[in-house]
Chain A
Amino acid sequence: MVKNAPALEAKGIEKSFGGVRALRGVSLELAAGEVHALVGENGAGKSTLIKIFTGAVTPDRGEIRLRGELLEHNSPAKARSLGFAAIYQQPALFPDLTVVENIALGKETGKLWSKVDWRARRAHASELLDRIGARVRPEALAGELSMPEQQLVEIAKALDTNASVLILDEPTASLGDRDTENLFRIILELRAKGVAIVYISHRFEELGRVADRVTVLRDGQSIETRAMAGTTKEDLIRLMVGRELETVFPPGENGFGDIALEVRGLKCRSLRVEDVTLTVRRGEIVGMAGLAGSGRTQFAEALFGLAQLDAGEVLVNGKAVEIRSAADAVRLGIAYVPEDRRRHGVILRMPVAANTTLASLGSISKGGFLQFAEEQKAAAGYILRLGVKTPSTDTLAGNLSGGNQQKVALARWLMTQPKILILDEPTQGIDVGAKMEIYRLIRQLAANGLAILMISSETEEILGMSDRVAVMAKGRIAGILDRANATPYDILELALGHQVAAQ
């Protein structure tokens, strides 16, 4: 150990995945007893950096020093033994094990065949849970707990490791106010004990409360590290975005056409969509905001014929229609570019061309037989039109960058010649440059007369792109705002509205 060395130091970290440079030079210094905030847009490289710390990903270049000593051949097991602990946005407990078992997992004391002292473990788990103020039954199966409860168990687990470096990746995303307060108390306790803490969050007010310093990541680079005191939200946003807001979002149109899509009282019990009423006009972009779990994706799936509707009416171009399957929806000119492109938006193991034509195989086949020449022509056309960066139409979609995969997903649905386009988190996990291109494309499509419903969890994106904003909460439309008078505050208030009312 080197004296006075920082608890954790990363220098010039670089990492590429395939052709995508996720990190292109990140440096970070973390002192013992410091809470160091890490901020950056989605895709700025935060998750990759954390994965490098926790040994899940090996960097291409750069070095990591732990208390001054070079950390080599990192692996998850090694990182844990060196005192790294991490809490992620999404809890990752074993659902079929109890809370006690989850907490005890990986802490076996070397005596492989000795009897497990369940009584002691249960007592220990209870003590940990009490310490963080979690009201969770230690005997409960982790899979039966709610998201926030699972997150609390994760926090208890991390506490139990006596970590010297604790990484918190949006730990409060699923926590309520009381649990968040408890977490902050714990964080400050740990800081006092000399634990070095990396704290990732999009909630600036949280950063102001717990963080000592903040490092901004942008496009895989560390842009600046500064003291949190005296740093305003605007400062951080400016550093994160790297350009003024207005230039990110292309200007909108003003004139809209007729109502293309009208939904009245849509209800789908199986997806927990309770009551959705809204309209989208031709040429209009309606943004759909709401908290995670508010039912936006579920509404889109119900509308797209992926589940049985229980009540409500759908009108396309003023005519009442029945949508029983995705095929019906496509026939009516509705297209749905789903969320989570990396998993289900494109088929990673299929070539770009096959991905592009997958929803319109009929239009490139004669009598059920595929016409390859037409397929290639169509795919090449969309590649050109959307500016997809791909070596060829035969490249597997999995080898493209996130932004380009999203464009392929978009191409697939544009090829169905839709009148109504539903986009679910269209820029999730793609870099800022690709984002701007996607925004421009969406604007262009709207200008060409498409009615667009854009689901997004990024308030900035909602405000920048939408002509009107529909806010969902608990499966219902909580309110619809005009572009002119929508503010982040209004959106959040509506998104939280039902929860506040319910308490």
Chain B
Amino acid sequence: MKLRPDREWPGLIALAALYIFLALAAPRFFAADNLRDLALSNVSVLLVAMGMTLVIVVAEIDISVGSLFAVVSIVCGLAAKAGIPIVPLALLVIGAGAILGAINGGLVSYVKAPSIVATLATMVAWREALRWMTGGAWVEGLPGSFQWFGLGQLKGEIAIVGSALLLFAALWWASRNVAALRAVYATGSDSEAARLAGIAVTKVVFWVFVLTGALTGLAALLNAVRFSDVPANSGNNLELKAIAAVVVGGTPITGGRGSLPGTLIGVALLGSIGPALTFLGINPYWEKAIQGAIILATVLFDAISAHRIRALNTR
């Protein structure tokens, strides 16, 4: 399918406007240090939002990713402290994410629970189970060999951002070139039509949740290596950040359409607001309000264009 850039444009224009404004008003925003911090702190959101894009394209939602991230982060911290080498540890962590994602996927596609309810249940369940098991305690004192994958800070940072961007590029390419991912778009567009076209709709939905779980697992790993502790409340509000980025990136919440570049734009735009305020000397309490306004603007744009399309198609 051809990329239809019209839906990504509002986000891209907003991002460009913000950066041009910053270049004039607060050029220090573009200092290497700040850009590096910006990239690092948004890697988790980007990875989760990549999965979320597909979840929303397939016309579902996953609000459990924050809790899932927390559980996997703790697993990751414990495994690191147990001295598991980095490669098996990565596989373990990503696998754990995939398994938790599979539980969501199973509930949605095979049990037929509405995804907002199913993932609300797992969201609460994982978060509370974690609180119960850890008693809110952090996993502290991660071994030095685990931090930055033992590569040192600079190489570690490059590895983190680089692997996230590589994965992003791969998924973007796949979303346009892999037959299985076209089935994702078809299912989200019209699941009954896709079913009648011989697409195994339930499997498609299931695997999208698994992929999201795995990406969330990876996000937890790339996040954990940056610190010496894993806080018990990690991943708080991650689901909201990811969903917001996807929506601002032009993916309609009703599914069937949407693109990964849009999501990258959404992550960059929403993630830049906080630092931008700091550099502009504005009270950072405005961050959430501005992010909210951006989401609202996206929704309005969507409603207006949907209205236009409906006017063309009604019979």
* A-to-B contact residues, CB < 8 Å: 17-18, 20, 22, 48, 57, 306, 325-327, 329-330, 336, 338, 342-351, 354, 358-359, 361-362, 364-365, 368-370, 394, 398-399, 412
A-B contact pairs, 30 of them (CB 8 A): A17-B314, A18-B312, A22-B315, A306-B195, A326-B199, A338-B196, A343-B193, A344-B190, A344-B196, A345-B196, A347-B186, A347-B194, A348-B189, A348-B190, A349-B189, A349-B256, A349-B257, A358-B186, A358-B194, A358-B197, A361-B182, A362-B179, A365-B178, A368-B178, A368-B179, A369-B177, A370-B177, A370-B178, A370-B182, A399-B313
Residues of B within 8 A of A361 (CB): 179, 182-183
Q: Other than the known A347-B190, A358-B199, what 6 A-B pairs have Cβ atoms closer than 8 Å? A: A326-B195, A350-B186, A351-B1, A368-B180, A369-B178, A370-B182
* Interchain CB contact under 8 A, B189 and A48: no
Residues of A within 8 A of B190 (CB): 343-344, 347-349
Q: B37 in the interface, Cβ–Cβ < 8 Å?
A: no
Chain A: minimal CB distance from B112 (Å): 15
Q: B192 in the interface, Cβ–Cβ < 8 Å?
A: yes
Chain A: minimal CB distance from B6 (Å): 13
* Interchain CB contact under 8 A, B193 and A344: yes
Q: A348, A350, A394, A412: which contacts B313 (Cβ < 8 A)? A: A348
Chain B: minimal CB distance from A47 (Å): 8
A368 to B312, CA, bound (A): 35
Q: B2 in the interface, Cβ–Cβ < 8 Å?
A: yes
Residues of B within 8 A of A398 (CB): 313
**When A and B form their complex, what is the total count of cross-chain residue pairs whose Cβ atoms lie within 8 Å?**
89
Q: B180, B185, B315: which contacts A350 (Cβ < 8 A)? A: B185
Q: Select the residue from A22, A329, A344 with max chain B CB neighbours within 10 A.
A: A344
Residues of B within 8 A of A325 (CB): 198, 200
Q: A48, A329, A350: which contacts B1 (Cβ < 8 A)? A: A350
Query: Could you tell me how many residues of chain B have their Cβ less than 8 Å away from some Cβ of chain A?
Result: 28
Chain A: minimal CB distance from B177 (Å): 5
Residues of B within 8 A of A348 (CB): 189-190, 313
A120 to B196, CA, bound (A): 49
* Interchain CB contact under 8 A, A350 and B189: yes
Within B165-215, which residues are at the interface with A (CB < 8 Å)?
A: 176-180, 182-183, 185-186, 189-190, 192-200
A362 to B199, CA, bound (A): 12
Minimal Cβ-Cβ distance residue in B for A366? B179
A359 to B183, CA, bound (A): 10
Residues of B within 8 A of A369 (CB): 177-179
Minimal Cβ-Cβ distance residue in B for A335? B198
* Interchain CB contact under 8 A, B197 and A412: yes
Knowing A347-B186, A361-B183, A368-B180, the reply to whether A330 touches B198 (Cβ < 8 A) is yes
* Interchain CB contact under 8 A, B196 and A354: no
Knowing A326-B195, A326-B196, A351-B1, the reply to whether A17 touches B313 (Cβ < 8 A) is yes
* Interchain CB contact under 8 A, A347 and B193: yes
Q: B179, B185, B196, B314: which contacts A336 (Cβ < 8 A)? A: B196
Chain B: minimal CB distance from A58 (Å): 10
A344 to B196, CA, bound (A): 8
Chain A: minimal CB distance from B171 (Å): 14
